[in-house]
Amino acid sequence: MTTLDLRAGERIVVKVGSSSISGERRGQIEPLVDGLARLHREGQVILVSSGAISTGMPYLGLDARPADLPMQQAAAAVGQNVLMNRYQRSLTRHEVVAAQILLTASDMDMDSHRVNARNALERLLELRMLPIVNENDTVATHEIRFGDNDRLAALVARLVGADRLILLSDIASLRTAPPDEPGSEPIEHVPYGDPLDGVRLGASGSHIGSGGAMTKVDAARLAADAGVRVTVTATPLLERLIGGERLGTEFEPNPDARR
């Protein structure tokens, strides 16, 4: 499996999924923040965090992710505030200040919005803040969404010229087939341009999140095309990954990308 092999001064984008930080797994925010704080000390880090809708759901009396857009927007409006508060309270232990950035897919499509987003992120990193990016669910529509925050994270990594993208969820690594099938094996390394022939990837098994193995592969390829090295692993493994253990699935970056 891969080892992170961090270098001083690296710029890293970390993405965490809804199912990793909400509900019964809400307690994973603290160890996640411990890892982020370590990356912040040694370089620059941006967190792309899902979880606004899932965090807001209990406050609206919802047991499952709502299907209608207005209720999703209501849950996001409540949950985004609560989620950022949880992150900041945990980051305060490390004397780190978070900065909230909310984006829509159209922001990445419009040159002026994209440039403004990049400039804001660059300045926040210069000021030693820790940007936390999420999709602006309260104004996004079904027609103009990123679809999942794996893609958003890849676009952010490209936008800021990140060295690495770490996609965290509830899976330790990508596999050649669903884990309950005979012969399923973990995928440790994906060379750039590898089509992953014979690999069967599934959708999300969570009633909370919207991503799955396929979205992570698509996002990894999007980032790798721009020269970003990508690691896919489980949220609880972040600190061990940072510590140099060989974990997860690594996608090699495009060696010809202009950085």
Residues annotated within the binding site are: 15, 50, 137, 149, 169-170
pTM of the model: 0.91
DSSP string, 46-103: EEEE--HHHHHGGGGT-SS--SSHHHHHHHHHHHHHHHHHHHHHHHGGGT--EEEEEE
The answer regarding whether domain 12-251 maps to CATH 3.40.1160.10 reads yes
Distance CA 34, CA 21 (A): 14
User: Residue 193: left if φ>0, alpha if ψ -120 to 50, beta else—which one?
Assistant: left
Q: pLDDT tens per residue, the chain (259 residues)? A: 444 566 667 999 999 988 899 888 899 999 999 999 999 999 999 999 999 999 999 999 999 888 888 898 899 999 999 999 999 999 999 999 999 999 988 888 899 999 999 999 999 999 999 999 998 888 766 544 666 789 999 999 999 999 999 999 888 999 988 888 888 899 999 999 998 887 877 554 444 344 578 889 999 999 999 999 999 999 999 999 998 888 999 999 999 986 5
* Boundaries of every domain in the chain: 12-251
CB of 231 closer than 8 Å to CB of 154: no
Residues annotated within the binding site for ATP are: 15, 169-170
CB of 202 closer than 8 Å to CB of 218: no
Distance CA 2, CA 248 (A): 6
What is the per-residue pLDDT for 106? 83
Structure-token match 């990016």, residue found:
133
Mapped onto helix, strand or coil, the DSSP state of residue 150 is helix
- What DSSP state is assigned to residue 186? B
* The CA-based dihedral angle spanning residues 66, 72, 75, 81, taken in that order and rounded to the nearest 10 degrees: 140
Helix/strand/coil percentages in the chain, nearest 5: 45, 15, 40
Residues annotated within the binding site for substrate are: 50, 137, 149
